[in-house]
Structure 1
Amino acid sequence: MPFPSSDHRSNRFLSLIRSPWHSPDATGSFGCGTFGRGSVVWGIVGVVLLALTPACDSPTPIRQYSIRTDVPSALAGDDRMLGLIAPQAQEAWFFKVTGPSDAIRFAEPAIREFLTSIRFQDGTPQFDEIPSGWSFGTERPMRFKTLLIDTPSRELELAISQLPRSGDWDEQISMNVNRWRGQMGMSDSDDRWAGAEPFELADASLAGEPAAWVDLTGKLGPGPTAMSSPPPMGSTPPRPPFAGPNGFPAPPPSDIAAGGSPSPAVPKADMPPAGSPAGDDSSRGLKYDVPPEWRAGKMSMMRMAAFELGPADRSAELTIIQAGGDLRGNVDRWIGQLLGSAPEAETVDEAMEAAVGLTVGDRDAQRFYLHGSDPEDADAQAIDATIVPLENGMSLFVKATGPAETLREERERIGQFLNSLRIPE
């Protein structure tokens, strides 16, 4: 039996509404007297409700929704870092590559095989042969070499650099691996070597220490540049015009960055005799132990101390000054001094990343070893600088400048000198 049409249902419904009172009786009232005249109103209401009720065969409205087709950042592909830290007698060598996980996964077998076979001569890695599909990148300051690795998805960079050996080998590995973990958005690890694993190299000349292999997965970001925490860059407050922090006289206002032009506003500091085992800058409260091999250097109005290091025919100079300027700005300027031109931002980034965290006079500090594009050049110049943040946006700068060969030989003595520094509260 077919369903009744909507018109048929409507007529039937109206008849049901009318049927109890469709005609008046003899008294002039409708048949169902209990309804009375108000029933007419109810009838009208029923008709209105019927008109407002949608028919059963009306089409269902179509709703449209917008669906995101981009991948949220939380679900995007992870980044991955592979690294090797290899010891030599005077330096630690770092081999590091970062990129999307798929590109690293493609190149990983060749990277591991290449690093396993790496050999050192006179403390320097040799690159007689490189894998097929690899090439050498252009020379960059703060890098020994860059190897370019071609993959189906993108080109990867294997960065090779070195830092001076400092302190315990296990601690140096842990510090640098935790720094890398920070760059990958990971927290520090208290595990041995911060989770790195021993890596066997074909070359046995590794200063009696094991190499460390690093494999990290996360989200690549800037991360920490060193273990210490310098004041935020660009947040240096104005200096007081007359008195400096910690009892030090304030530097002249014109010397807004370390290494600025000398000014006669600061009196000359007393220097210990040449070759004396200890120094005491009593006028400023700065104390230190002087290595007996060092010689008294040339003082100026800006310098709190000055020494000559190394042989007379290739001597370097170490100075101590107090000045302002943000951390990155000073590193940028020092690299520019070595290159003879303004460095690229990426070069400064790499120098900041390579900073070594240490403690000087119970204060967090950062040590930078900066060199030109070819540190092995006989005439290459270098800078070994340590920045010790003080109060009021000022810092203590312990900066050695001279031939790269001399500074390499003096690294340990410079480290001993830094450990001996006592800075007044």
Structure 2
Amino acid sequence: MKQICLVTLLAFLSLSTGCRKQEEITSYTVSKGASSSNTALPDMTAAPAKPTRMLAAIVPGSPQNWFFKMTGEPDQVKAEFDHFIEFMKSVTLSGDKPEWKLPENWTQEPGSSMRFATLKIKDTDPALEVSVIPLPAGTDLTADLLSNINRWRDQVGLDSISAETIKEAADKSPALDTELFTLKSGDKMISVVSLKGMMAGNPMSRAPFASGMMGGPGSPAAGPANPPAAAEIQYETPAGWQPGRSGGMRKAAFNITSGDETGEVTVIDLSKAASPLLPNINRWRGQVSLKDITEAELSQQSEQLKVGDLEATYVKLLGPEDAKPRIAILGAIIYRDELAWFVKFTGPVKLAEQEEARFKQFVQSIRFE
């Protein structure tokens, strides 16, 4: 392979003296039908993966959809299944806000950051709660549902589903072991998931994607009901990055280790129409305990990176100094044709600072064919 001189090496990889071989450019074709590995998401920053039950629902609205989510130990969540279904059947939208009737053992607390409200289940240990989050609705409800449901499935190590599975859910009745079904509340058809799998103890992966779902931060074997043709993505892997778990909505993934610190980089594609820029960046900010920013503040809190003939919006988000653990996100969002590509590092702040130059180099090396 072509040798890289010391000056170039220092400029791009911030490495020490001597000459090394250039990292090989990796190229592969992404198949939209590819399924993710049925294993737990490797946790780079918190506790190991553990058995988890997730109950979550999406109430469609305009201009935003509403996301309700409960995650916890399987037996604990199982005990609240009937209450969750009873609660979701009571949910209606008045104007652009939801109204509901709480089960007797639930209490309501004000929301914060992205949350509209937090619903607590009394006398549960560990504490069990339902988060209520509004996010902008996309132009295609099926794309919104597919992106978010597949993100949730990925969080507990399950394979992605297709748009056809969402249509079939309308004929299914509520049941604990039915992974996807619908409920009727007023004139709304509510999509509900009941998922059992393994979830890493990483708070970075818990939120939905913005607009039907970001992820999320999201996220997800995402994309519209009729997804674009398979895309080929090429990139240059920085020195020291090891292959991580990819497949499904994860088009690439890498694990990074330095001493006793570990981080993860993922590349995910979503529907462009369902992935507005600011809500996704604010979702990432919320994941590291930072306050939302406004559209006017976005240009001051981000920078543009050249990615071939495209541009990526890049953000460096460091959690508060008193946070334990103190987590950072390095994130870049690239819009191309009908897709939004999310490139994201999650890990300790110290490791993020160390890897920032390599992360930017990686983002700018991405090419689409």
TM-score range, shorter chain: 0.3 to 0.5
**TM-score, normalization: structure 1?**
0.40
Name the larger-Rg structure.
Answer: 1
Q: Which has the higher strand share?
A: 2
* Highest RCO, 1 vs 2 (Cα 8 Å, sep ≥ 6): 2
